[in-house]
Amino acid sequence: MFKNVFGSGFLVRTAHVILTWVITLILFLHDTDLRRQEETGELALPVLFVLLVLLSVLLYFAVSLMDPGFVLSDDCDMQFTLGITEETQDMIPQSTKSIRLRRCGHCLLQQPMRSKHCQTCQHCVRRYDHHCPWIENCVGERNHRWFILYLAVQLLVLLWGLHMAWSGLSPATSWPLWLRSNAVLLAAGILVTTLALTVLLLLGSHLYLVSLNTTTWEFMSRHRISYLKHCGTDENPFDRGPLRNLWGFFCVWESVVWEQVYFKQSNDAI
């Protein structure tokens, strides 16, 4: 279920953890609200902040090391599961959205619908969303919801850290003196602001796509995906409405046979 922590993404993961704890340490060493509360014995918020940072790091490692949904063998029972035979497929008009199981040209395995081969991971990934260099892993069927949870927690940590950095900026009699006295906190604040904006955009875009029941790959490469080519510009065969899409994504944990959903939608449209 989890990959080796010392794998190809070791340097990226190490840099992420070091940067996280260095910024946290900066916030505690300078005269921020965190340090003032710690010095006065009000430990509730400082402890909560550290626990939230720790949770974000644990979620980062979970998403980074988790199997995103690698396709490791042919699903020989797929056609029988769907109740679709070759004769049935031949009877479906070519103008409709018929199912066509593809064999990957790289790993030579049959690709379930909505899967894609990742050149970096060297595996096909179920319900492939994208390969994220930040976590050095693909985001797919098994870890996508955990990725979004990580983004939400990380955004909360960054916004809280930005507020703490702002609270530690001290006044000075001149602009050069102010820069010298606040240089470290200012640099940390700028970095945290940049990261917070990035995470906010990522979280917002992923929640939007999830509400449509589409993936980043499908959204960006719709014109090149075989099972979406025959759909209209605004047509999504997997869309069941925003509420049902969000419920299915976050609350339904079993794997979905997307060929079955696709075929059902195709029949409904006839």
Active site residue 132: yes
Per-residue pLDDT, 99: 53
pLDDT confidence tier of residue 74, bands split at 50, 70 and 90: confident
Both tokens assigned to 44: 């509730």
Of 16, 155, 127, the residue nearest 67 (C-alpha): 127
- Inform me whether the pLDDT recorded for 15 exceeds 60: yes
Please tell me which residue in 104, 107, 124, 132 is annotated as part of the active site: 132
| pTM (2 d.p.) | 0.86
- Region of residue 32 (phi > 0: left; psi between -120 and 50: alpha; otherwise: beta): beta
Domain map (residue ranges) of the chain: 10-269
- Inform me whether the pLDDT recorded for 48 exceeds 80: yes
Task: Measure the CA–CA gap between 126 and 251, rounded to whole angstroms.
Answer: 18
Amino acid at site 198 = T
Average pLDDT (22-45) is 93
| HSE of 61, CA atoms in CB hemisphere, 13 A | 15
- Inform me whether the pLDDT recorded for 84 exceeds 70: no
Per-residue pLDDT, 258: 86
pLDDT tens for each residue of 100-143: 567 888 888 888 999 999 999 889 999 999 999 999 999 999 99
pLDDT tens for each residue of 146-162: 999 999 999 999 999 99
Containing 116, the helix (H) or strand (E) segment is: strand 116-118
